[in-house]
Structure 1
Amino acid sequence: MFQRLSEKLGGIAERLRGAARVSEADLDATLREMRLALLEADVALPVARHLMAEARQRAMGAEVAKSLNPGQVIVKILHDVLADVLGGQRRDLDISRIPSVILLCGLQGAGKTTTAGKLAKLLAGQGRKVALTSVDATRPAAREQLQVLAGQVDVPYVQGEGTTAAAMALSALNRARSEGHHVLILDTAGRQVVDDGLMAEIREVAEKIQASERLLVLDSMTGQTALTIAEQFHAAVDMSGCILTKTDADVRGGAALSVAHITGVPIRFVGTGEKIDAFETFDPQRFAGRILGQGDVVGLVEKVQAHVDQEQAERLAGKVRKGSFDLMDFADQLGQMQKMGGMGSMLKMLPGVKLPQEALAQMDDKPVKRMQAMVYSMTPRERLYPKLINGSRKKRIAAGSGTSIQELNQMLKQFAQMQKMMKRMKGDKGKRMMAQMAGKFGGFGGMGGMSKM
């Protein structure tokens, strides 16, 4: 999400940071360029106008010309204006009641059911006892799909009884209460289009169960249509927030900027991929930083904390200190990086990365998987002692992993260099070596050709 917008606004911000002086004419030219970038990103015209007017008003009032670093001042103003349009501050869920009910609604195809599973996994990971239920009686196999998702994220599915959606919801809530669940996530029925029947049903369910949160699930790929949908749902049911799905496929991001500002419905979460853990809390301040090319170090740290096994990390640190880093450790580290979304996803969150958005989007993690396959095709002894891998063994490993001997030789060479660095990482040399290793292996330099094979 925001790829196209981030590339253009990030470039503008970069030019401003290096500017020794910024005149009023320079500011107007910058704002015109930004306005064009916003409209190309499918941001609603009233929102683009508001952004530009607000940025200009704050810039003129801040006495930018008298500042020692006027470019940085303007970038800070742009960041604050973007953050305000995106919702201002991060808003956590109100789930203080036991049980708290989170009502999910939206049109068919927006991804409500999958989002219910993702949200359940996120909350369960925070130590809450979560249950899922569905009152969708219109879509074939809707309940079965949610039951499967519940099994995947290891939370119970609560079956509600009754002939109406409201009755099923109330029944499921009573069961969740008796079973001691902290949160009940309720998936409602959708329609191809917004109609009175859908709205009446959702309104009745929300009133019956007194939902703590009423979240609208929106497909970010629908662009400004998402704005119309949000306005209609919010008028019928007082929505407390929305969740944007399929943001990994939306390079424009106009829906996020438009929905929160025009409807006043804050974005609470974003779905960032098909995997069940491709889901994150929406923080306007941090997303504004991403748009302006400032990265999101806090988000990256949270991602590392969520996906890296602490015991495994400590075990690896011990091996590094002893100089016993082997191929299995190498494959495990590649796997950890994959869990965090791959190299491209991580680089996007680092400040100062100059790679074009197209290059980051096309960064292929298949070579990483191929490297893992090579290691997994080795015997335990070969992983410990790579020098044992002679010509015949290489043929067997290449055949078993679906790769070539040339690729295997390349991977072994890179591992040997990495292992050599690891052995030298002792004392104060460690920090310097880590910087060298990041430069050498950060993009899996030399492996780029592997993706073409």
Structure 2
Amino acid sequence: MFNRLSEKLGDIAHKLRGSARISESDLDDTLREMRLALLEADVALPVVRHLMSEVREQALGAEVARSLQPGQVIIKILHDVLADVLGGQRRDLDLSKIPSVVLLCGLQGAGKTTTAGKLAKLLASQGKKVALTSVDATRPAAREQLQVLASQVDVPYIEGAGATAAAMAASAVNEAGRSGYHVLILDTAGRQVVDDALMEEIREVAEQVRASERLLVLDAMTGQTALSIAEQFHAAVTMTGCILTKTDADVRGGAALSVARSTGVPVRYIGTGEKIDAFEAFDPDRMAGRILGQGDVVGLVEKIQSSVNQAQAEKTAAKINKGQFDLGDFAEQLGQMQNMGGMAGMLKMLPGVKLPQEALAQVDDKPIKRMQAMVSSMTLKERRYPRVINGSRKKRIAAGSGTSVQEINKMLKQFAQMQKMMKKMKGSKGKRMMAQMAGRFGGMGGGMPKM
């Protein structure tokens, strides 16, 4: 999401950083570029006008005129205005009641049911006792789909009793309360288009369960249409936020900027891919930083904390300290890097790393996956003692992993060099050794793009 906008605004910000003096004419030229970038990103015209007006008014203030680095001040102004348009401060869900009901609504095809599963997994990982329920009274298949998702994310599904959506919702909430669940995520029925019957049904459900949160699920790919959908749902049932799905496929991102500003319904979460864990809380301040090419170090740290098994990390660190790091540990580290979104996902969050989208698209995680496949095809003894891997074993490993003997040899040679470094990683030399190690394995098959 925001790929095109980030690339263009990032270029503008880069030019501004080097400016020692900015005239009103220079500012007008910069704002014109920004306006075009926002319109191309499918941001609603009223939102573009507001954003440009705010930036211009603040950029012509005395603070910029007195500054020794006016370009940096204007970037800060743009960052703050973007964050404000995106919804201001990040707002966590209100889960103070037991059970707290999170009502999801939206049109068919927006990814509502999948989003219910993703949100359940995220809240469960935060220590919440979560349950799922569907109140689609006309489509049993929708309820069955949510039951399957519930089992995949390892949370219970509650089947509400009753002939209407409101009755099913009331029954499920009562059961959740009796069973001591902290959060009940309630998936409502969808339609191809917004109609009076759908709105009335959602209103009845919302009134029946007194939901703590009412979240609208929107397909980011619908662009400006998402704005009109949000306005209609918000008019019928006052929404506390929205969830944008399929943001990985939407390179423009205009819906996020338009919805929050035009309706007052903040974006609370975004779906970033098809996988069940491709889902994250939306932070306007940090997203503004990403759009302007400033990275998101806090987001990267959070991703590391949520993806890395702390106990396993401590165990690996102890093995490194003793010089016992083996191929099994190596494969484990590669897997954890993949869980954090691979090389491309991590590069996007690093400040100062400005790669064009074409270059990021060339970042290839296949060499990492091939190395994981090689290690997976080895026996436990071979992983612990690579020196036992002779010619016949290499052929077997290559056949099992879909690679070649030459690739096995290359990986084993570089791992041997890595092991030597690991044995030296004590005291002050550790950081330098890690840098050398990263450099060596970065060359294993050209995972990074050519600039």
Shared fold per TM-score greater than 0.5: yes
Aligned residues of 1:217 and 1:244 also touching (Cα < 8 A): yes
Aligned residues of 2:219 and 2:245 also touching (Cα < 8 A): yes
Aligned to 1:315: 315
Residues in 1 aligned to 2:340 and 2:91: alpha-carbon distance in whole angstroms: 24
Structure 2 CA distance for partners of 1:450 and 1:304, relative to 1, 3 Å? closer
Aligned to 1:220: 220
Structure 2 CA distance for partners of 1:416 and 1:25, relative to 1, 3 Å? farther
Q: Aligned letter for 2:89? A: Q
- Alignment pair present for 1:393 and 2:397: no
- Alignment pair present for 1:415 and 2:415: yes
Q: Aligned letter for 1:162? A: G
Tell me the SS of whatever aligns to 2:242: strand
Q: Aligned letter for 1:73? A: V
Residues in 1 aligned to 2:315 and 2:398: alpha-carbon distance in whole angstroms: 29
Question: How far apart are residue 447 of structure 1 and its match?
Answer: 1.3
> How big is the alpha-carbon RMSD for the aligned residues of Structure 1 and Structure 2?
1.6
Cα deviation, 1:127-184, whole Å, max 9, x if unaligned, reads 1111100011333511111111111111111110000000000010111111111111
Aligned residues of 2:365 and 2:447 also touching (Cα < 8 A): no
Question: How far apart are residue 215 of structure 1 and its match?
Answer: 0.2
Residues in 1 aligned to 2:388 and 2:275: alpha-carbon distance in whole angstroms: 38
Cα deviation, 1:267-299, whole Å, max 9, x if unaligned, reads 000011111111110000000000011111111
Residues in 2 aligned to 1:227 and 1:362: alpha-carbon distance in whole angstroms: 33
Structure 2 CA distance for partners of 1:19 and 1:412, relative to 1, 3 Å? farther
Structure 2 CA distance for partners of 1:37 and 1:269, relative to 1, 3 Å? same
Residues in 2 aligned to 1:128 and 1:86: alpha-carbon distance in whole angstroms: 27
Residues in 2 aligned to 1:23 and 1:418: alpha-carbon distance in whole angstroms: 54
Q: Aligned letter for 1:448? A: G
Q: 1:445 aligns with which of 418, 443, 446?
A: 443
Question: How far apart are residue 357 of structure 1 and its match?
Answer: 2.0
Aligned to 1:73: 73
- Alignment pair present for 1:332 and 2:332: yes
- Alignment pair present for 1:51 and 2:44: no
- Alignment pair present for 1:163 and 2:163: yes
Aligned to 2:36: 36
- Alignment pair present for 1:108 and 2:101: no
Aligned residues of 1:79 and 1:292 also touching (Cα < 8 A): yes
Aligned residues of 1:308 and 1:336 also touching (Cα < 8 A): yes
Q: Aligned letter for 2:92? A: D
Structure 2 CA distance for partners of 1:73 and 1:313, relative to 1, 3 Å? same
Q: Aligned letter for 1:445? A: G
Residues in 2 aligned to 1:369 and 1:62: alpha-carbon distance in whole angstroms: 54
**What is the identity percentage for the equivalent residue pairs of Structure 1 and Structure 2?**
81
Structure 2 CA distance for partners of 1:449 and 1:73, relative to 1, 3 Å? closer
Question: How far apart are residue 420 of structure 1 and its match?
Answer: 2.5
TM-score scaled to structure 1, two decimals? 0.96
Question: Where does the alignment leave 5 or more consecutive residues of structure 2 unmatched?
Answer: none
Residues in 1 aligned to 2:335 and 2:38: alpha-carbon distance in whole angstroms: 37
Question: How far apart are residue 30 of structure 1 and its match?
Answer: 1.2
Question: How far apart are residue 440 of structure 1 and its match?
Answer: 4.2
Tell me the SS of whatever aligns to 1:119: helix
Alignment of 1:19-30 (within 5 A): 19-30=19-30
Tell me the SS of whatever aligns to 1:63: helix
Question: How far apart are residue 438 of structure 1 and its match?
Answer: 3.8
Tell me the SS of whatever aligns to 2:88: coil
Q: Aligned letter for 2:100? A: S
Cα deviation, 1:284-329, whole Å, max 9, x if unaligned, reads 0000000011111111111111111111101111111112211111
Cα deviation, 1:412-434, whole Å, max 9, x if unaligned, reads 23323322322221101112223
Residues in 2 aligned to 1:253 and 1:138: alpha-carbon distance in whole angstroms: 34
Aligned residues of 1:367 and 1:450 also touching (Cα < 8 A): no
Residues in 2 aligned to 1:361 and 1:267: alpha-carbon distance in whole angstroms: 26
Question: How far apart are residue 197 of structure 1 and its match?
Answer: 0.5
Aligned to 1:194: 194
Residues in 1 aligned to 2:448 and 2:408: alpha-carbon distance in whole angstroms: 10
Aligned to 2:148: 148
Q: Aligned letter for 1:347? A: L
Residues in 2 aligned to 1:326 and 1:97: alpha-carbon distance in whole angstroms: 48
Structure 2 CA distance for partners of 1:29 and 1:110, relative to 1, 3 Å? same
Tell me the SS of whatever aligns to 2:68: coil
Question: How far apart are residue 240 of structure 1 and its match?
Answer: 0.5
Q: Aligned letter for 1:318? A: A
Aligned residues of 1:110 and 1:218 also touching (Cα < 8 A): yes
Aligned to 1:237: 237
Cα deviation, 1:199-244, whole Å, max 9, x if unaligned, reads 0000010011111110000000111111111111111110110000
